[in-house]
Structure 1
Amino acid sequence: MANTQPQPVASKAATDAERIKGGRSVLVGALFLMATSAIGPGFITQTGQFTYQLGAAFAFAILVSILIDIAVQLNVWRIIGVSGLRAHEIANNLLPGLGVFLAILVALGGFVFNVGNVAGGGLGINSMLGLDATTGGIITAVLAVLIFLSKKAGAALDKIVVVLGVVMIIATAYVAFVSNPPVGDAMKNFVMPEKVDFTIITTLVGGTVGGYITYAGAHRMIDAGVQGPEYIKDIANSSATGVIVTGIMRFLLFLAILGVVAGGAKFATDSSIAGQAFGIAAGDLGTRLFGVILWGASISSVIGAAYTSVSFLTHKNTSALVKNGMTIAFIVASTIVFVAVGKAPATLLIVAGAVNGLILPVGFAALLIVATFRVKNMLGAYRYPLWLLVVGWLSWALTVYLGISSLSGIAKLWNG
């Protein structure tokens, strides 16, 4: 009988090890959800335009934006992960009503941009298979809906975003290889840029950690039950890795386009620079691969925008059935707008742009205040690193600048 005493301890240790191992698997899906949510149609368009505009010097903008993104996500994931609360729940605990305000901003911005994501899926299928873009958009939406109809939607979501991310990186890497870019010039400009454009840097940051994208991976993480100080190391690694995956995709896309730009190719102004570059670099195969990448970026963003927006409209006790139903309704509604209009209406895009400019500074400030002043002890006994708070507040100051710049630019568009 004496030999039976240690067994519960051993059993508990084994259970904890299995739980942490399962948590790490979930974190892979969460980091890819964040990364693929950032890699949307706008991401591809911006990379093409800025590569054409700056040439090899765009490498420096990519590097700086990655470092800023990591600073933001290290804080967002850690605070949400340790507290076990979603961003709007933290904001509501800090100031009643603030979380509701944040949820409305995220849902509104996510919905409008999701219309653009569905449209991007249609264009991707058009480039890939030659089908009508409207039909392609509907197919994209249907496939996204099927994920959330699954009884194991969470597990399916984790696997699909990983596959989409890997496919996009491999396809882009191939075109980057055949376009024969001046890699030496690009690497030199990483640290010694020929030109620095801070407007472009802030635009990249806003596009990769702005709006719903900021919270996509962190919310997926706690929805899957990964939370608490015991996961700190894995949470930190995953949050940084997600940004690095996005950065790798951006850099490969930059190289693929740079090879064509450096070769002196001329581009039509009424068509996607990235799409044209892929066609010039690899012919018909390049055009179809661009379609694969654009479609992968679009459907992953449809999934990410819908999932994250709904996560702000529900709470941890909401049943999976209700969450999935709301997510499906979100996708269907944005698809109906796309079919009716062909794209997100200009007025809605202006409003959504203004909303997006507010989401990061408002939500990020709430998280940092909770970590700095230990408001209502939401982080329990966890001692938050001082260096991370300093980096976080400096990053927040930049998000305020981003928000002001976004609102100023949108005001000009509105008045113009």
Structure 2
Amino acid sequence: MKLTKIFTTMIFVAALVVMAGFAYGATVRVNWNANSESDLGGYKVYYGTRSGTYANVLDVGNTTGADISSLANGYTYYFAVTAYDVSGNESAFSNEASILIPGDAVNDPDDPIAPDPSLPDSDMDGIPDYYEDLWGFDSVNPLDSLMDDDGDGVVNLVEYMAGTSPVDPNHYPYADNVLKDVIGEVGEVIDFSSVNPDGRYSIVPLTDAFPAPAGNSITPQATGAYLYNVLDEDSALVYRVRVSVTEQLTVIGDYEPGSFMELADQMFGIKIDLPANALIRIVPIGIGNVIPEAISAVETGDDALLFDILPFGLVLTEPAVITVDYDKPNPTVQRYDATDDTWVKVGDATAADGKVSFSTDELGTFKVVSGEQDDAPAGGGGGGGGGCFIQTAGF
């Protein structure tokens, strides 16, 4: 399929509807001329507040129109359309159309959504109470901002900041410049210069469970995920920083969107494969806190291989495949659920030739054990965890 005819025609932006009283309540209808290729699979609408750079994408299927909702007042939005065939091959962008959403905001091209600090936000998670109630979230639980309620691989906070729906899996951002991940070791200085190079922002713990930074850094004394808001001079959210801390990192690398990543710990035989479309941003990936079977048998009473894949709680758009060396009989895999403080069985694990493989769409702490085991309490901590601070590293 050549996918060319769509680009010889115009796309049209019309039927602007502004819903009064909604901070991000504008809806824009986008229409385009149909592609006539026989193996057409559908269309995607790309849009954002910078011409030629689209932070959001919506797969609309085989239709020639779409309503784009939750657009911020006072911003100019730019739209382009692509076509894709039944094999998933995608065309280049169509011509671009734009429209100004009426309102009082000032259009900053580097800030697709301008958070309004005057809106009540009881849990200080960056999502105002109104929207948490609207979407069925918990307005007094800041940790739900890092959950992925619609399962599209993008957490709720990032979707809110991008103006996409956190409860619609077909409506998600094309990029993410909100959530920042840092990984490190217990006792190591974690420097925030990458998100606060001039020291002009305030770095505020998301809850009282996390230590306040000293200057522009922290020195964590326990494993877990440490969460911070980076605020500007108007107390508006700029970034959410998640610091994932393990006892000892054995290997580390950077994932880049569009590129397959393989990261392997040769000493303990642990490998993670991330597909090219697993994430929409650059993220550091690490393996750490590896406790081999011989040691874990003393500490936990079972023949388990324990290890961390960082960042804790990182949600993936496409699942990663993890392979570990493990030759005990009848192996099963469990992932630590920090929310419930339990070990949860990973259902698709396979074993062959002394290796165990499984897929996961969330990183964290894993345990490979010999024999069937039901989901069970972790008994005081499971190493790290996604979105929740774990006070100790003991098992």
Calculate the TM-score normalised by the size of structure 1: 0.20
> Which structure is higher in RCO with an 8 Å CA cutoff and minimum separation 6?
1
Greater percentage in strand: 2
Question: Which structure has the highest helix share of the two?
Answer: 1
